[in-house]
Structure 1
Amino acid sequence: MQIVKREEIVEGILEENALFSLEELCRSCRLPLEQLLEIVDEGIIEPVDYQQTTTSWQFAGNSVVRVRTVIRLQRDLGVNLAGAALAVELLDEIKVLRANLL
């Protein structure tokens, strides 16, 4: 897997095998570290290898999409973090079910 810089994100399209450091994910999503760590604690995104120290964590490309979805849910609908986590999981399930129908 390769590490992708924020500048390489084009029109919200991310490669599945792209990796982001914790710092890059913070910059890409425009979130402070503490808020992103809360999102990790809630289980919305997971580092590729929890065994690493937080400064060495890497996140899959779809983590950016998930975090941005959480941000929109909180901003637009006033959903708390636990509610946003549930909504993101349900949205993922819907995608899987739709893909199975095709």
Structure 2
Amino acid sequence: MTKRTVTATYSVVLDETVELSLVDVCEACRIDAESVFEMVNEGIVDPEGSDPTNWKFNTLALRRLQTALHLQRDLGVNLPGAALALDLLEELEALRRRTT
């Protein structure tokens, strides 16, 4: 008999109008602020606010950050590659919505 390991993943659906601070995003993604700064500089997300202490992220930005982290951790994609992949995935999703 073959043993299988099952991993459960839990997620929370957030209202798209929710605004998250830099601290909130770091906690949600389990990363440090420097990693978020790098992703902002790469164009993965564009927070509202003039400086990091005032940055606000919406839930779509949180999802982009989490997806970029998965691309890095699971597939070894670097930040520029993750930014490109995210843009292409969003474009593909938009095209699918238009055709249905």
Report the TM range for the smaller structure's normalisation. 0.7 to 0.9
Describe the SS at the equivalent of 1:86: helix
Q: Unmatched 5+ residue regions in structure 1? A: 1-9
Q: Unmatched 5+ residue regions in structure 2? A: 1-9
Moved more, 14-23 or 73-82: 14-23
> In structure 2, what is the equivalent of residue 73 of structure 1?
71
> In structure 2, what is the equivalent of residue 92 of structure 1?
90
TM-align CA RMSD: 1.3
How far 1:73 moved relative to its partner?
0.5
Q: TM-score, normalization: structure 2?
A: 0.84
> In structure 2, what is the equivalent of residue 39 of structure 1?
39
Describe the SS at the equivalent of 2:48: coil
> In structure 1, what is the equivalent of residue 30 of structure 2?
30
How far 1:65 moved relative to its partner?
0.8
**Aligned pairs, number:** 91
> In structure 2, what is the equivalent of residue 7 of structure 1?
none
Percent identity over the alignment is 42
- 1:11-26 correspondence to structure 2 within 5 Å: 11-26=11-26
Which stretches of structure 1, 4 residues or more, deviate above 6 A after TM superposition? none
1:14 touches 1:62 (CA, 8 Å); kept in 2? no
Aligned-partner Cα distance in 2 for 1:101–1:71: 30
> In structure 1, what is the equivalent of residue 4 of structure 2?
none
